[in-house]
Structure 1
Amino acid sequence: MPESAAEAIARTGSPVELLRNAQARPTIFPVTPEFTNWRSEQLSWRTSVALLDQSHHMTDLFISGPDALRLLSDTGVNSFANFGVDKAKQFVAVNHEGYLIGDAILFHLEEEVFDLVGWFMVLDWVQYIGETGDYDVTFERDANSLMREPGVPPKLYRYELQGPNALALMEKLTGAPVPATKFFHMATFTIDGLEVRSLRHGMAGQPGFELFGPWDEGEQVRNAIIAAGEEFDLVLVGAKAYSSANLESAWVPSPLPAIFTGAGSADYLQWLPATRVGSLAGSFTSDDIEDYYLTPYDLGYGRSVAFDHDFIGRAALEQHAAGELRTKVTLVWDPEDLSAAQRTLYEPGTPAKYIDFPKARYGVYQVDRVLADGVDVGVSHDAGYITGEQVFASLASLDAAHAEPGTEVVVVWGEEPNSTKPAVEPHRQIEIRATVYPAPYSSFARENYRKN
Structure 2
Amino acid sequence: MTINSPWDEGADVKDAILEAGKAFDIRHVGAFAYFSTALEIGWIPRPMHAIYTGDEMRAFREWLPSTANEVKWSLGGSLYRENIEDYYFNPYELGYGHLVKFDHDFIGREALEKIANQTHRKKVALMWEPSDVQDIVGSYMDTDQLPALYVNAPMSNYANWQYDAVEDADGKTIGAAVYTGFSWNARRMMSTAVIDAEHAVPGTKLTLVWGEPDGGAKSAPWIEPHRQVKVTVTVAETPIDKGNGAGRGVK
Establish whether TM, by shorter chain, passes 0.5. yes
Using the alignment, how far apart are the partners of 1:281 and 1:438 within structure 2?
A: 25
Amino acid at match of 2:160: V
- Please identify runs of 4+ aligned residues in structure 1 that moved more than 6 A: none
Using the alignment, how far apart are the partners of 1:281 and 1:221 within structure 2?
A: 42
Displacement of 1:412 after TM fit? 0.3
Does residue 223 (structure 1) correspond to residue 11 (structure 2)? The answer is yes
Amino acid at match of 1:224: D
Relative to the length of structure 1, the TM-score reads 0.49
Using the alignment, how far apart are the partners of 1:371 and 1:390 within structure 2?
A: 24
Amino acid at match of 1:294: F
CA contact (8 A) 1:295 1:320 kept: no
Using the alignment, how far apart are the partners of 1:438 and 1:250 within structure 2?
A: 9
Structure 1 residue aligned with 2:156, among 342, 357, 360?
Answer: 360
Aligned match of 1:73: none
Gaps of 5+ in 2: 246-251
Helix, strand or coil at the partner of 2:208 = strand
Amino acid at match of 1:355: V
Q: Cα gap change, 1:406/1:314 in structure 2, threshold over 3 Å: closer, same or farther?
A: same
Gaps of 5+ in 1: 1-200, 202-209, 447-452
Aligned match of 2:102: 307
Give CA deviations for 1:335-381 in whole Å, capped at 9, x if unaligned.
Answer: 11111111110102211111101111111111110001210111111
Aligned match of 1:369: 165
* Alignment of structure 1 residues 17-416 onto 2, 5 Å: 201=1, 210-212=2-4, 217-218=6-7, 220-229=8-17, 231-232=19-20, 233=22, 235-275=27-67, 276-277=69-70, 278-348=73-143, 349-372=145-168, 373-416=170-213
Amino acid at match of 1:240: F
Give CA deviations for 1:194-244 in whole Å, capped at 9, x if unaligned.
Answer: xxxxxxx3xxxxxxxx2225xxx42x1222124445644564454310011
Give CA deviations for 1:37-69 in whole Å, capped at 9, x if unaligned.
Answer: xxxxxxxxxxxxxxxxxxxxxxxxxxxxxxxxx
Q: Cα gap change, 1:335/1:351 in structure 2, threshold over 3 Å: closer, same or farther?
A: same
Does residue 425 (structure 1) correspond to residue 224 (structure 2)? The answer is yes
CA contact (8 A) 2:237 2:244 kept: no
Give CA deviations for 1:55-89 in whole Å, capped at 9, x if unaligned.
Answer: xxxxxxxxxxxxxxxxxxxxxxxxxxxxxxxxxxx
CA contact (8 A) 1:330 1:437 kept: yes
Q: Cα gap change, 1:436/1:227 in structure 2, threshold over 3 Å: closer, same or farther?
A: closer
CA contact (8 A) 2:126 2:234 kept: yes
Using the alignment, how far apart are the partners of 2:206 and 2:19 within structure 1?
A: 45
Amino acid at match of 2:159: G
Using the alignment, how far apart are the partners of 1:243 and 1:229 within structure 2?
A: 20
Does residue 437 (structure 1) correspond to residue 236 (structure 2)? The answer is yes
Using the alignment, how far apart are the partners of 2:55 and 2:100 within structure 1?
A: 21
Relative to the length of structure 2, the TM-score reads 0.87
CA contact (8 A) 2:78 2:210 kept: yes
Give the length in aligned residue pairs. 234
Q: Cα gap change, 1:434/1:227 in structure 2, threshold over 3 Å: closer, same or farther?
A: closer
Using the alignment, how far apart are the partners of 1:227 and 1:407 within structure 2?
A: 43
Using the alignment, how far apart are the partners of 1:415 and 1:442 within structure 2?
A: 31
Using the alignment, how far apart are the partners of 1:231 and 1:381 within structure 2?
A: 36
Amino acid at match of 2:38: N
CA contact (8 A) 1:282 1:414 kept: yes
Displacement of 1:273 after TM fit? 2.1
CA contact (8 A) 2:236 2:244 kept: no
Determine what percentage of the aligned residue pairs are the same residue.
38
More strand by percentage: 1
Helix, strand or coil at the partner of 1:425 = coil
CA contact (8 A) 1:248 1:445 kept: no
Helix, strand or coil at the partner of 1:265 = helix
Q: Which structure has the larger Rg over C-alpha atoms?
A: 1
Displacement of 1:422 after TM fit? 4.2
Using the alignment, how far apart are the partners of 2:104 and 2:124 within structure 1?
A: 29
Aligned match of 2:249: none
Using the alignment, how far apart are the partners of 1:248 and 1:356 within structure 2?
A: 17
Using the alignment, how far apart are the partners of 1:274 and 1:244 within structure 2?
A: 30
Displacement of 1:248 after TM fit? 1.1
Q: Cα gap change, 1:409/1:445 in structure 2, threshold over 3 Å: closer, same or farther?
A: closer
Aligned match of 1:31: none
